[in-house]
Amino acid sequence: MSTKCGISIPQTFEQSVVDVELIRKFVVRAEALGYDSLWVQEQMISDAAILEPVALLTYVAALTSRVRLGTAVLLTVVRNPVELAKTLATIDQLSGGRLIVGVAIGGETTPHEIFGVPREQRARRFIEGLKVMKALWNEPKATVSGDFWNFTDVAMEPKPAQKPHPPIWFGARTELALKRAARLGDGWMGPGSSSSAEFVRHMELIKRLLDEAKRDPATFSISKRVYIAIDDNRDIAEQRLRRWFGARYKSPDMAPRVSIYGSRTECVDKLGALVRAGAQHLLLDPVYDHVEQMELLATEVVPAL
């Protein structure tokens, strides 16, 4: 595959019936087809049947051997960073150093109170939580002095297989969040909830912010999550996307605004525009007919990018 393309693992199931065989078949075939990476996302609280991402990624690590494994994204502000550091280091070890850690602060609708985390100072908590994880991953005995976590000479073994730690990609769409990504992250992933036009605008901003932060763009990964459907009948594709977005996000109208869908040629053209804008990596997210769409993308779309 000329352009690095990952694909989203089936994770949301209708009627709350989890199809484990679909997951197994999908990830094994995705690796065989040459996809760069397999991805999970996080939504703990929902009436849709969505599997927990870290546990799912552990299962997928055991089924695969080469493909990279990513989270897009973990809402780390509502997680305990000490526990999360241990869990992610374990996955990185079990997978042979294949983990990419996508993180984000979450939006105003994130139910912090359910997790026992105050909504106040969430940006500071988010940044400090990442500092805690990096300290535990990098230092033989970690010491952190902060507003939320304070400890001295804490050992955590094993460290991640990747050194100094798995790459950390930020999900971000506001200028403040993009600035955090440019300053603290190893990469940025444009969210699936942003349109292609918004991604192009964000690209211009991230380039400027990387320059201001004196970061080398060659060491900073840029990706875009894309909800996608290949179908010569655009009306049918849009109807199915609307149904999924209605169940998953309670917003059917979001589907045509942010998705790429239609014929092979149309999908190639629109994905190509993202690549020309600066996307080094695409996270393709077919939300229905997962195996069939995965095959079509691998054989009919990705090679043409």
Residue 62: Cβ-neighbour burial (10 angstroms; 0-12, 13-18, 19+):
exposed
- Strand runs labelled E in the chain: 4-8, 12-13, 37-40, 49-50, 68-75, 99-104, 142-145, 150-154, 168-171, 187-190, 221-230, 260-262, 281-285
The token pair at 301 is: 């779309």
- The secondary element (H helix, E strand) that includes residue 210 is helix 196-212
Query: Domain count of the chain?
Result: 1
Q: Which domain holds residue 231?
A: 4-304
Domain of residue 9, CATH code = 3.20.20.30
Sequence length of the chain is: 305
Mean pLDDT of 34-60: 96
Mean pLDDT of 143-169: 98
The span from the CA of 131 to the CA of 136, in Å, is: 9
What is residue 16's predicted lDDT score, i.e. its pLDDT?
Answer: 85
pLDDT (tens digit per residue) in 82-120: 999 999 999 999 999 999 999 999 988 888 999 999 999
Entry pTM: 0.97
pLDDT (tens digit per residue) in 67-88: 999 999 999 999 999 999 999 9
Given the structure tokens 């089936």, which residue do they identify?
A: 10
The span from the CA of 37 to the CA of 7, in Å, is: 6
What is residue 15's predicted lDDT score, i.e. its pLDDT?
Answer: 83
What is residue 108's predicted lDDT score, i.e. its pLDDT?
Answer: 80
Mean pLDDT of 14-43: 96
Helix (H, G, I), strand (E, B) or coil at 120: coil
